[in-house]
Amino acid sequence: GQMSVNRLEMKQVTKIPSFMGEIDVLKTIQLLPGVKGGAEGNSGFYVRGGGPDQNLVLLDEATVYNAGHLFGFFSVFNGDAVKDINLIKGGMPAQYGGRLSSVLDITMKEGNNQDFQVTGGIGIIASRFTVQGPIKKDTASFIVSGRRTYIDVLAKPLISDSSAFKGSGYYFYDLNTKFNWRINDKNRVFISGYFGRDVFTFNDNQSEFKVSIPWGNATTSLRWNHLVSPKMFVNTTSVFTDYNFSFGAEQDGFEFKLFSGIRDFNEKVDFTYLPNSKHYIRFGANYTFHTFTPNNVSAKSGETVFDLGGLKKELAHEAAIYFNDDWDVTNRIKIYAGLRYSYFIQVGPFDRYVQDVIGRTTDTISYGKYKKVADYGGLEPRLSMRFLLDENSSIKTSFTHNLQYVHLATLSPISLPTDIWVPSSDKVKPQIGEQYAAGYFRNFHNNMFETSVEVYYKNMRNQVEFAPSALPSDNVNNNTDNNFIFGNGQSYGAEFFFKKAKGKLNGWLGYTLSWTTRSFAEIDSGSFFYARYDRRHDISAVLVYDLNEHWSFGSIFVYGTGNAITLPDARYLI
């Protein structure tokens, strides 16, 4: 197979110890070399020195923009509904694009097409319930899986009626559903959906201060798989994805609300063509219409509503075409070659607020409906090679060039839901990344043991950060990207992996040695500094022992260098 790719089976994931018994896909991939957890208890993840927004997270082909519940302690992926997990850390095939660092491709279970099944579980934090079965045997099946936390329900009796914090609480819930129908030998249809919400409320009854923070994702995918001929099939997919976040506060009749989000409509068509045993060809096109809602604010006092400029949205179109060929050149040499061309355009209606050096708005440029604000495009070549030394060992190399047109502007080192997704614009250029990687892979004892060492170097341009003095603005007569600064980054390192794949005792040991730097002209005059994604050493050991079919024991050991941080010495106001 290709290098820098990890496939995880849900069967294996369920045996690994998890926080409060909640099986977590994102926590499990953080145990692989080259993948680091964002912060303690956080489901945001960094791959080979890239930020959380540089990971393309897909659930049945729908982009998931915020993959965390409970401020990142849990991921939005319910283990009961997940079938396959595929992580690509480098050398990603050309059908994937729009992100610099990695692809996490998650497929939902399709439902049992033979028997009706009901399963459930009561956990310390959440309860789960799954129903699946045939609608018509061998032809159509469905699965519905839901879970909800009950911290709020358990805490209620413990908070007395006289408590100042009566009415505060937190819960999340999510629902996964999938339906598939085999129309005939040539046609299959899949419909899948995900809906999840987090709701955090805080009440201080003494000062009559209330805060409400709801956020969540919704996705829907409709896919038609059609067999054109024995050598060719085509997938046509329509995807809708919506992520939104809101923060509301209320005191003494004054109400304030901040909200942001992103919504996508995505159409794609993917062809797979097998002309002979030596070639596996994929080609296709996709188009996405993005609606960004960077920070918007509304406020009212009693019946008085303040005019803060109305709801501001930013619209953009993104499109790509690609071609990919996995070619067996000889018995020993295999080449994975791909080329992608992508294009991005931000369109009106849009108001650009022009600011002077001290941040006062001096002019406004207004773009009408459908008018071009800015556009970008480019070729994205991908090339990987595998050379078999003998039947047990191989050398693999890869090169990828990626463009990223959407950016996550973040103010804190953990991925909070307050982070804002923004498009490339007349001020924000697309991120550009190149990654070079090489590795040696060897299996022992009839593939019982798998070992590998990979080295990589990654170069990243047009990285986005908030300016050091910036605070999350309310965007009244301002654009979010007026607060940005831009710089470059690089990351390099080595990953060592040892896995025992068979037998009663199995698991893996991973070690990563890596360096990650960034340089911004406005910070340290452009000399480089170690970024928050920098981790010198990262070790994880996973052991699972299957005693019998009823009992299995698992253990995890993790060691990591701490996060790089520079604390301010002082603050002064003039």
DSSP per position, 537-549: EEEEEEEEEE-SS
Residue 84, pLDDT > 50, answer yes
Residue 206, pLDDT > 70, answer yes
| Across 285-308, average pLDDT | 83
The DSSP element (H or E) to which 170 belongs, if any, is strand 169-184
Q: Is 38 exposed, middle or buried, given 0-12, 13-18 or 19+ CB atoms closer than 10 A?
A: buried
Residue 12: band (very low, low, confident or very high) from pLDDT cuts 50, 70, 90: confident
Give the residue among 276, 382, 386 at the shortest CA–CA distance from 333: 386
* pLDDT score, position 307: 63
* pLDDT score, position 71: 65
| Across 521-526, average pLDDT | 77
How far is residue 296's CA from residue 241's CA, in Å, rounded to a whole number?
A: 20
Query: What percent of the chain is predicted at pLDDT more than 90?
Result: 53
Q: What is the pTM of this model?
A: 0.89
Mind listing the pLDDT tens digit for each residue in 114-168? Answer: 899 999 888 777 888 999 999 999 899 999 999 998 877 766 766 677 776 677 8
Query: What percent of the chain is predicted at pLDDT more than 70?
Result: 92
Q: Strand 55-59 and strand 102-108: pairing?
A: parallel
| Summary mean pLDDT of the chain | 88
Mind listing the pLDDT tens digit for each residue in 379-400? Answer: 999 999 999 999 999 999 999 9
- Give the start-end residues of each E strand in 410-524: 420-423, 431-444, 449-466, 484-500, 505-520
Mind listing the pLDDT tens digit for each residue in 445-489? Answer: 888 999 999 999 999 999 998 887 776 555 567 788 888 889 999
Tokens of 300: 């009212």
Residue 76: band (very low, low, confident or very high) from pLDDT cuts 50, 70, 90: confident
| Across 41-64, average pLDDT | 86
Tokens of 201: 């409320």
Find out whether 215 and 244 touch, Cβ atoms under 8 Å: yes
Residue 416, pLDDT > 60, answer no
How far is residue 149's CA from residue 465's CA, in Å, rounded to a whole number?
A: 34
| Across 180-186, average pLDDT | 94
Look at 522 and 347; give whichever has higher pLDDT. Answer: 347
Q: Is 357 exposed, middle or buried, given 0-12, 13-18 or 19+ CB atoms closer than 10 A?
A: exposed
* pLDDT score, position 478: 79
Look at 458 and 421; give whichever has higher pLDDT. Answer: 458
Residue 340, pLDDT > 90, answer yes
Residue 41, pLDDT > 60, answer no
Return the SS3 of 399.
strand
* pLDDT score, position 19: 65
Tokens of 512: 């990563």
Q: Is 1 exposed, middle or buried, given 0-12, 13-18 or 19+ CB atoms closer than 10 A?
A: exposed
Residue 499: band (very low, low, confident or very high) from pLDDT cuts 50, 70, 90: very high
How far is residue 523's CA from residue 469's CA, in Å, rounded to a whole number?
A: 11
Least confident range of 296-310, 333-347, 426-440? 296-310
Find out whether 168 and 160 touch, Cβ atoms under 8 Å: no
Give every CB contact of residue 398 below 8 A, 6+ residues apart in sequence.
Answer: 2, 3, 4, 90, 91, 336, 382, 383, 384, 385, 435, 436, 437, 438
| CA angle (284 as vertex; 422, 370 as ends), nearest 5 | 40
* pLDDT score, position 321: 98
| Across 251-256, average pLDDT | 84
Residue 20, pLDDT > 70, answer no
Residue 370, number of CB atoms within 10 A of its CB = 9
Residue 257, pLDDT > 60, answer yes
| Across 224-248, average pLDDT | 94
* pLDDT score, position 414: 47
